[in-house]
């Protein structure tokens, strides 16, 4: 089932396995992608997934999360981005990139100013108290998202994904925990949705009807007073009605104990921790549903697809460790991903994304080889 073609909007994928967006951290300080990025996406795309979704592309410099994040805020970035899209397609996959703004979850040390949010609610983990957005700034942000989506299209990507998950700016508008406004942008579920619906309209106007616009959405903020499931399901239905090409079901914010990338997931029952929410979304929407979160073994993945709880699956951490995992499975491998969900890959924000545990293991093996050689020589 996993290795059968599927359609997302106007896009046909060779299979249902997606590389989930994980910030690659391979851009220079101007947000321009580097040769290192090209080599990285080449490896990913040749690994056998049907679609590669690249992580956070910032729509404004003061919305970026790290100094090495891919920039989508200037036209000068488009030609190098085009090389990335071409490289992914040459590897056999389709190419999508996220448009994102970190909002209150940005770090002042990176953006060199105070992060912004709908209401100035503190991010407990970083102790950041954001500045409250003025109404005219919100309108500007909508235009910035649309301009960034236009650059993605101009660069030759096959689609764009709106990052409306994990507590970043769009989630901050959707969630009653972070949106306490009482103007047209907050105060009721409909008004909390207003930023996202306006933004989708602006993006669609910029990229046209044929260009797939996907979304990654929190169905659960995994914090007290986060978005209620019923409200999140209404958002999912509404974005599908607005013409979104696929919904990736996720959850969590920076402050949640157990968020998007949960630690220590073992193969079997712990996998697919957003499955029940994907199932509910799937029942309510017309567009394809993507399940992400803790997937690491073929039987579980195929069961999710065969029981129609999701149309596609996305893997993040497993493909950081083993970019060739999809091909290995296709070739008959029957063991789960080697990833142990330790989250060391998320630790070093100033380094390019990689499996830090694999690097440690390789260094340890090298040390043991050297010690063995020395003993033989004695």
Ligand X SMILES: Cc1cc2nc3c(=O)[nH]c(=O)nc-3n(C[C@H](O)[C@H](O)[C@H](O)COP(=O)(O)O)c2cc1C
| Strand-pair category, 131-132 with 213-220 | unpaired
Which of the stretches 174-182, 234-242, 292-300, 354-362 binds ligand X when contact is defined by CB under 6 A? 292-300
Q: Does 96 bind ligand X (CB under 6 A)?
A: no
Which of the stretches 29-37, 186-194, 328-336, 339-347 binds ligand X when contact is defined by CB under 6 A? 339-347
Site for ligand X in 256-285 (CB under 6 A): 260-261
Convert residues 298-327 into a mask of x (bound to ligand X by CB under 6 A) and - (unbound). -----------------xxxx---------
Bridge partner list, 213: 160
In this complex, which beta carbon is closest to ligand X, that of residue 186 or of residue 304? Answer: 304
Which of 23, 71, 130, 212 forms a contact with ligand X (CB under 6 A)?
A: 23
- Kindly report the number of other CB atoms within 10 A of residue 76's CB atom: 12
Which of 172, 179, 240, 250 forms a contact with ligand X (CB under 6 A)?
A: 250
Which of 13, 18, 20, 235 forms a contact with ligand X (CB under 6 A)?
A: 20
User: Which SS3 state, helix, strand or coil, does residue 160 take?
Assistant: strand
Convert residues 111-150 into a mask of x (bound to ligand X by CB under 6 A) and - (unbound). ----------------------------------------
Q: Does 22 bind ligand X (CB under 6 A)?
A: yes
The token pair at 283 is: 């029942």
Which of 26, 56, 151, 153 forms a contact with ligand X (CB under 6 A)?
A: 56
In this complex, which beta carbon is closest to ligand X, that of residue 63 or of residue 186? Answer: 63
Minimum Å gap between C-beta 249 and ligand X is 10
Residue with nearest beta carbon to ligand X? 55
Q: Does 293 bind ligand X (CB under 6 A)?
A: yes
Minimum Å gap between C-beta 295 and ligand X is 6
Give the span between the Cα atoms of 213 and 216, in whole angstroms: 10
The token pair at 236 is: 């999912």
Q: Does 31 bind ligand X (CB under 6 A)?
A: no
The token pair at 239 is: 């974005």
Q: Does 295 bind ligand X (CB under 6 A)?
A: yes
Is the alpha carbon torsion for 174, 176, 179, 182 positive or negative? positive
What 137-143 contacts at long range (C-beta under 8 Å, 24+ apart), as own/partner pairs, is 138/185, 138/195, 141/59, 141/60, 141/101, 141/169, 141/199, 142/195, 142/198, 142/199, 142/202, 143/202
| Strand-pair category, 17-19 with 312-315 | parallel
Are 292 and 309 in contact by the 8 Å Cβ rule? The answer is: no
Q: Does 71 bind ligand X (CB under 6 A)?
A: no
DSSP, residue by residue, 334-357: -SPPS-----GGGT-TTS----HH
Q: How many residues bind ligand X (CB under 6 A)?
A: 25
Site for ligand X in 199-218 (CB under 6 A): 216
Q: Does 94 bind ligand X (CB under 6 A)?
A: no
Pure H helices in the chain = 35-45, 78-90, 108-111, 135-154, 169-174, 189-207, 229-241, 275-284, 298-306, 317-321, 325-330, 356-377
Q: Does 101 bind ligand X (CB under 6 A)?
A: no
Which of 146, 169, 199, 292 forms a contact with ligand X (CB under 6 A)?
A: 292
Chain residues in the site for ligand X (CB under 6 A): 20-23, 55-56, 98, 163, 165, 216, 250, 260-261, 292-295, 315-318, 343, 345-346, 353
């Amino acid at each position: 089932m996993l290795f059968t073609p599927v359609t997302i909007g106007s896009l046909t994928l060779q299979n249902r396995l997606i590389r989930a967006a994980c910030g690659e951290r391979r851009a220079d300080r101007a947000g321009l992608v580097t040769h290192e990025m090209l080599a990285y996406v080449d490896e990913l795309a040749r690994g056998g997934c049907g679609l590669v979704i690249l992580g956070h592309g910032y729509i404004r410099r003061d919305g970026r999360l790290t100094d090495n994040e891919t920039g989508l805020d200037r036209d000068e970035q488009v030609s190098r981005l085009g090389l990335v899209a071409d490289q992914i397609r040459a590897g056999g996959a389709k190419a999508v990139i996220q448009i994102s703004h970190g909002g209150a979850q940005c770090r002042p040390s990176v953006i060199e100013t105070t992060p912004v949010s709908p209401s100035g609610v503190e991010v407990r983990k970083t102790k950041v108290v954001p500045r409250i957005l003025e109404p005219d700034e919100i309108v500007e942000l909508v235009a910035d998202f649309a301009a960034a989506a236009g650059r993605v299209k101009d660069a030759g990507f096959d689609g764009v994904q709106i990052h409306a998950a994990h507590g970043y700016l769009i989630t901050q508008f959707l969630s009653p925990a972070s949106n306490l406004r009482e103007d047209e942008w907050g105060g009721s579920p409909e008004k909390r949705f207003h930023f996202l619906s306006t933004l989708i309209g602006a993006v669609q106007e910029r990229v046209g009807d044929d260009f797939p616009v996907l979304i990654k959405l929190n169905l659960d903020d995994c914090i007290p007073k986060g978005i209620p499931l019923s409200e999140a399901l209404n958002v999912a239905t509404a974005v599908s009605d607005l013409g979104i090409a696929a919904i990736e079901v996720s959850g969590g914010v920076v402050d949640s104990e157990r968020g998007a990338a949960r630690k220590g997931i073992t193969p079997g029952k712990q996998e697919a921790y957003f499955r029940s929410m994907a199932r509910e979304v799937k029942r309510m929407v017309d567009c394809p549903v993507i399940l992400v979160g803790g997937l690491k073994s073929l039987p579980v993945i195929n069961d999710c697809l065969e029981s129609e709880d999701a149309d596609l699956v996305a893997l993040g951490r497993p493909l950081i460790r083993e970019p060739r995992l999809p091909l290995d499975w296709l070739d008959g491998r029957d063991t789960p991903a080697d990833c142990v969900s330790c989250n060391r890959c998320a630790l070093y924000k100033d380094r390019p994304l990689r499996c830090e545990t694999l690097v440690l293991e390789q260094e340890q093996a090298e040390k043991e080889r050297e010690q063995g050689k020395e003993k033989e020589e004695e």
